[in-house]
Amino acid sequence: MLRYLRENTGNWIIKIFLGIIVVVFVFLGVGSLGSKRNDLVATINDEPITRVEYQQAYKTILSQLQARFGRNLNDDIIKALNLKQQAIDALIEQKLLLSEAEKLEIVVSKEELQNYLISNKAFQKNGLFDMAQYKRVLGLNSTNPEIFEQNKIQDLMVEKVRRMVNSTVNVSDNEAKLFYLFQNTKVAVDYLAFTPSSYTDIKPTREQIQDFYDKNKENYMSESKRKVIYLKFSPADYKDQVEVLQEDIQDYYDQNIETFETPEKIEARHILIKLDPEADSVTTAMAENKAMDIYKKAAEGEDFETLAKQFSEGPSRDSGGYLGTFEKSSMVKPFADAAFAMKAGDISEPVKTQFGLHIIKVVAKFDASIQTLAQVSKKIKLILEQDDMQNIAYDRAGEAFDAVIDGDDFEQVALISDKKIIKTDAFDQNGKGLIIPNKKEFAQTAFALAAEDTSDVKQLGDSYYLIKIIERIVPAIQTLDIVKADVQKNVTSKLQKEFAQKQAQEFLDKAVAQNSLEDLSLPDQIKIKSTPLFTRNGSIEGILNANEFIQAGFTLNDTQKIYPRLVETSTGYYILKFKEKKEPAGTEVIKNLKTVKDELVWKKQTQSYQAWLMQLKKTKKIKYDPAFLN
């Protein structure tokens, strides 16, 4: 797999191609490698999924992530996304859906395939399908029309099955209304906060510290550490091996023409009169009259900057309403449509947006432009040189890893690669003890290795590494004199928390009995506070991890005012009392009904499809070795 990835994922044209082509599944090119290997990674009712299919699926997912994340893609993201499992699951899903498509006699017509091909921008020149471009792009990706079109037919068949499953899902207006009310109803509460860290007078005794240490020694282990040797393959080492031809520069320019385009821009000022979209007719009329009066002053020649400083209610008021230079897409549509239709020096009548009413003055206009090949040729050359150096570094690292797999020891590998072996001092899992870039990622790679193991090729920053463990330093319990400060801090925190909980429970019992917070005799440091209105999925400023707090608030009403249990969050204990409940207005519900229905349909379709797929899997004998994923 590593050799195949090395040969393909570095090429910039491939990255562009994979970024443009939107596929339903991740199986572009399955079976196109022409390999005769028949080793299996999974079976579905004895139908094989081969290692070649798995490698191609993994490679395609990885390439899509590279197109999405660019150089931000690292081993942590790959590990978090569990790419190996994704590839296996996606292959199993595709096989199952293709089997169902055949059972249901689902077909893809020539016209459907043709429509896909001619509408795909990767295969177009000047907005039209171009056969030469089509074959060229496929050739660059080691495939041909016959293989590509067969795989695309399978993708389209699979999509038809998905649409068939999802077609059974519908959402009524009443269901959408209830969902919107549930999501957007707001509640506010009064509360008492008992914060453990505020009890600063609590100090543990020597005996409490010793007792806590004796009972929790295993929590005070020294850190596990590693020592490694490694080889580093940096792109800069291969600068002399790179030559970029003019035709390569031309190809890059043609394929990335949009990156050299500068859209139309304007420089502008504005005066904002705030107006809530839900404002009543009287308030709206007053705001419109005020905005129109300001517009007339500006139109009659009064200094716009001075008027903005005097009347504007927006954040740019102090700078005379100055908005700087911006593209059309960076502003809300009504504002942008009006501003970009104006000439330099023009002043608009009031324009309404969700923020209010804007009087706009266009200071200057800058036409759209595109940089010529001559203007960007040097820049492109540097990009292509860097890509080529990156590819060579990766290839060399891959060849070194192949030598490791073939049984060569690390010294021989270094000699073959013309690289110096570098040895580290002991370092922990966060990289403390290392003097290299990307030390945390380096350390995490090392800690994932077993004793004497050598890593596969790891990219850290721009460079590639082979890392070999030479020593594992195991953790040991540290003596109290070494960790006393940490133990004392932990004991103090424990005692503070216990005291806060005890005191909170005493006041909760009284609050429940009196059905009130106001009648409690509270210590000076405990004050009744109030939240703003919040939704079920919202947050509350100053209260971390507030989910339990929020859910508790929604159980309260005018009858049951006091929540009968303490609410614990990461910051302390809370006693809650009902204050206010506010449901969305009927007009608001109607206004958002379509959006809510679309959201609910999507959610229900996702749930329905996953449930259907899970049930389908239960009818099949699916086997694979989980160890393969490790």
399 and 426 part of one domain: yes
Domain annotation covers residue 447 = yes
Q: What is the pLDDT of residues 418-446, one digit of tens each?
A: 999 999 999 999 999 999 999 999 999 99
Are residue 68 and residue 118 in the same domain, yes or no?
A: yes
Q: What is the pLDDT of residue 17?
A: 40
* Other beta carbons less than 10 A from residue 127's beta carbon: 7
* Token reading at 127: 């907005």
Among 1-5, 120-124, 191-195, 391-395, the least confident range? 1-5
CA separation for the pair 46, 621 (Å, rounded):
8
Regarding predicted confidence, which is higher, 628 or 218? 218
pLDDT of residue 127: 85
The domain that holds 348 is classified in CATH as 3.10.50.40
Per the CB < 8 A criterion, the answer to whether 489 and 196 are in contact is no
State which of 327, 351, 367 marks the end of a domain: 367
Residues 132 and 34 grouped into a single domain: yes
pLDDT for 51:
85
Residues with Cβ within 8 Å of 456's Cβ and at least 6 positions away in sequence, in order, are 2, 401, 466
Residue 56 and residue 202 share a domain: no
Which CATH number characterizes residue 409's domain? Answer: 3.10.50
pLDDT digits (tens, 9 = 90+) for 474-483: 999 999 999 9
Residue 141: band (very low, low, confident or very high) from pLDDT cuts 50, 70, 90: confident
Question: Are 538 and 459 within one domain?
Answer: no
Mean pLDDT along residues 448-453 = 85
User: Residues with Cβ < 8 Å from 202, sequence gap 6 or more?
Assistant: 492, 495, 496, 499
What is Dmax (Cα atoms) for the chain?
A: 86
413 in the same domain as 349: no
- At residue 238, does pLDDT exceed 90? yes
Taking the C-alpha atoms of residue 595 and residue 68, their distance in angstroms, rounded to an integer, is 27
- 15 and 159 in a single domain? The answer is yes
Q: Is residue 74 located within the same domain as residue 128? A: yes
Residues 193 and 272 in one domain: no
Q: How far apart are CA 438 and CA 451, in angstroms?
A: 22
Nearest to 15 by CA among 149, 153, 140: 140
Same domain, 128 and 40: yes
The per-residue pLDDT for range 457-471, each reduced to its tens digit, is: 999 999 999 999 999
Per residue in 290-307, pLDDT (tens digit) is: 999 999 999 999 999 999
Least confident of 13-22, 203-212, 312-321, 557-566: 13-22
Res 206: pLDDT? 95
The answer to whether 369 and 262 are in contact (CB under 8 A) is: yes
Shared-domain flag, residues 464 and 380: yes
Sheet (strand 265-274) strand order: 322-327, 265-274, 356-366, 351-353
DSSP 412-445: HHHHHHT---EE---B-TT-TT--STTHHHHHHH
The reply to whether the predicted model has a pTM over 0.85 is no
pLDDT value of position 322? 95
With a cut of 90, say whether residue 498 has pLDDT above it: yes
Average pLDDT, the chain: 89
For residue 241, tell me if it sits in a domain: yes
Read off the tokens for 54.
Answer: 């798995």
Q: Does residue 180 lie in a domain region?
A: no
pLDDT at 630: 63
pLDDT in tens, 355-382: 999 999 999 999 999 999 999 999 999 9
CATH, residue 146: 1.10.4030.10
Q: Are 596 and 179 in contact (CB under 8 A)?
A: yes
Q: Is there a domain that residue 484 lies in?
A: yes
Report yes or no on 588 lying in a domain. Answer: no
The verdict on residue 397 lying in a domain is yes
What are the residue ranges of helices labelled H in 185-280?
Answer: 206-215, 246-255
Tell me whether residue 618 is in a domain: no
Output the pLDDT for position 31: 37
Enclosing domain of residue 322: 264-367
| Averaged pLDDT, 523-551 | 92
- Given pLDDT bands bounded at 50, 70 and 90, which one contains residue 3? very low
**Does residue 443 contact residue 428 with C-beta atoms inside 8 Å?**
yes
Do 152 and 35 share a domain, yes or no?
yes
Q: How many domains does the chain have?
A: 4
Whether residue 627 is contained in a domain is answered as: no
Conformation bin of residue 452: beta by default, left when phi > 0, alpha when psi is -120 to 50: left
